[in-house]
Amino acid sequence: MPQNRPVLVLGCGVSGLSSSILLLQAGHAVTIWARELPPHTTSNQAAALWFPYLAHPMERVGPWASRTLAYFKQHLLPDPASGCRPTRVQDLYAHPVETPWWAGAVAAYRRLAADELPAGYVDGFETESVVIDTSVYMDYLVAWFRRLGGEIVQREVTGIEEATAECKWVVNCTGLGSRQLFGDESLHPVRGQTVKVRLNGVEHSILDDEGPNGLGYIIPRSADIVLGGTAQAADWDTNVRSADQAEILRKAANLHPAFGEVQVLAAGVGLRPVRHEVRLEAERIGDALVVHNYGHGGAGFTLSWGCAEETRMKVEG
Ligand SMILES: Cc1cc2nc3c(=O)[nH]c(=O)nc-3n(C[C@H](O)[C@H](O)[C@H](O)COP(=O)(O)OP(=O)(O)OC[C@H]3O[C@@H](n4cnc5c(N)ncnc54)[C@H](O)[C@@H]3O)c2cc1C
């Protein structure tokens, strides 16, 4: 196996950090260049749950998501300092639904009984997943990367030749930044606003993607509960909007009575990097190999380790 390759990774979100860690573990020398570092990345704005959402195509997303879940179970859940822990997730629907295509990837999956459904819902399922507290996990990844000998440089790249002039192996994990860097207009933002509230005893996650409170979600973490959300396509506004916040609080109260009254701690906005399909492929640019790993939509954490493994393999080509 080729070892000790110098690799330049662009981007310090979950995709860049996960790819870099696996490259370092395989013996390569990795430097990250990134315009924003944690806690100022889109990745920091996610809650996040392992849950395939707004990412395509299904035939590649499925194996990446399964690999990632297995990786979380084997390497992250055993260490409480990672900010990752198992969680029960209830997904609610106002119409009968088929078993989700990814149900086989999770250990426990069951359909909810009628008396377990809140008013307004006729179907739903419960599954065992992983909650990834990004306020802990992103710093954990940075510390892990540095411990393995990686270097981080805060630097914006305005043209890919800046990177290929520096290094013959480049990994592109710039998320939404790839729209400008590579002129990729198939990549667009889907705006997500969230509200963080004080813990109130609710310990499981609740989602309504498309029903009367869609897109509403409740995701308890170690020190707060993240309430969502919005999915506003082609909306570049990263300011918190009071109308969105009021809607988010209304939806949470409908999803669970414990959210009738909440103590708001903070609010945030992130732009999901959505594409018709995740771009994970190698491209020759001059005499350099550029491996793209971006466009994970609402599932960047859910796909992170599976995509990082494939990225490493493409670098080693
Ligand atoms: C509200 C919300 C909730 C979410 N919930 C979930 C969830 O529950 N589960 C889940 O799996 N996913 C979730 N997501 C999606 C997830 O956050 C994204 O898919 C993921 O963060 C994408 O990670 P990334 O590393 O590819 O990009 P980013 O985190 O955006 O990182 C991109 C990096 O590239 C850098 N960069 C960009 N352009 C340049 C440039 N020109 N030069 C140098 N550096 C550059 C940036 O500064 C940054 O460091 C959610 C997203 C939002 C907004």
49 Cα nearest atom in ligand 1: 8
Query: HSE of 159 in the Cβ direction (CA atoms, 13 Å)?
Result: 4
| Per-residue three-class SS string for the chain | CCCCCEEEEECCCHHHHHHHHHHHHCCCEEEEEECCCCCCCHHHHCCCECCCCCCCCHHHHHHHHHHHHHHHHHHHCCCHHHCEEEEEEEEEECCCCCCCCCHHHCCCEEECCHHHCCCCCCEEEEEEEEEECHHHHHHHHHHHHHHCCCEEEECCCCCHHHHHCCCCEEEECCHHHHHHHCCCCCCEEEEEEEEEECCCCCCCEEEECCCCCCCEEEEECCCCEEEECCCEECCCCCCCCHHHHHHHHHHHHHHCHHHCCCCEEEEEEEEEEECCCCEEEEEEECCEEEEEEECCHHHCCCCHHHHHHHHHHHHHC
Picking from 172, 225, 203, 207, the residue whose alpha carbon sits closest to that of residue 87 is: 203
Averaged pLDDT, 68-81: 97
Amino acid occupying residue 26: A
Q: Which residues pair with 87 in a beta bridge?
A: 129
pLDDT (tens digit per residue) in 249-296: 999 999 999 999 999 999 999 999 999 999 999 999 999 999 999 999
Residue 1 has pLDDT above 60, yes or no: no
6 C-alpha to ligand 1 centroid (Å): 24
pLDDT (tens digit per residue) in 130-155: 999 999 999 999 999 999 999 999 99
37 Cα nearest atom in ligand 1: 49
260 C-alpha to ligand 1 centroid (Å): 31
Residue nearest to atom 10 of ligand 1 (CA): 299
Choose which residue among 14, 127, 277, 311 to substitute to test ligand 1 binding: the one with the highest number of ligand atoms within 8 A of its C-beta: 14
pLDDT (tens digit per residue) in 45-73: 999 999 988 888 989 999 999 999 999 99
Q: Provide the mean pLDDT of the chain.
A: 96
Choose which residue among 42, 167, 191, 193 to substitute to test ligand 1 binding: the one with the highest number of ligand atoms within 8 A of its C-beta: 42
301 Cα nearest atom in ligand 1: 11
| Cα separation values, 54 from 189, 224, 238, 287, Å | 11, 25, 19, 34
142 C-alpha to ligand 1 centroid (Å): 15
What are the pocket residues of ligand 1 if the criterion is a CB atom closer than 6 Å to any ligand atom? 10-16, 33-36, 41-43, 45-49, 51, 156-157, 173-177, 181, 192, 194, 228-229, 270, 272-273, 294, 296-302
302 Cα nearest atom in ligand 1: 11
Q: Residue 99: what pLDDT?
A: 92
Q: Residue 54: what pLDDT?
A: 82
Q: Residue 55: what pLDDT?
A: 86
End-to-end CA distance of the chain: 10
298 Cα nearest atom in ligand 1: 15
266 C-alpha to ligand 1 centroid (Å): 19
In the chain, the domains with their CATH numbers are 6-316 (3.30.9.10)
Tokens of residue 121, six digits:
């819902």
Residue 3 has pLDDT above 80, yes or no: no
15 C-alpha to ligand 1 centroid (Å): 8
Tokens of residue 159, six digits:
């043209």
Residue nearest to atom 4 of ligand 1 (CA): 46
Choose which residue among 32, 43, 154, 274 to substitute to test ligand 1 binding: the one with the highest number of ligand atoms within 8 A of its C-beta: 43
Residue 2 has pLDDT above 80, yes or no: no
45 C-alpha to ligand 1 centroid (Å): 8
Picking from 165, 188, 158, the residue whose alpha carbon sits closest to that of residue 175 is: 188
Residue nearest to atom 15 of ligand 1 (CA): 298
Q: Residue 228: what pLDDT?
A: 97
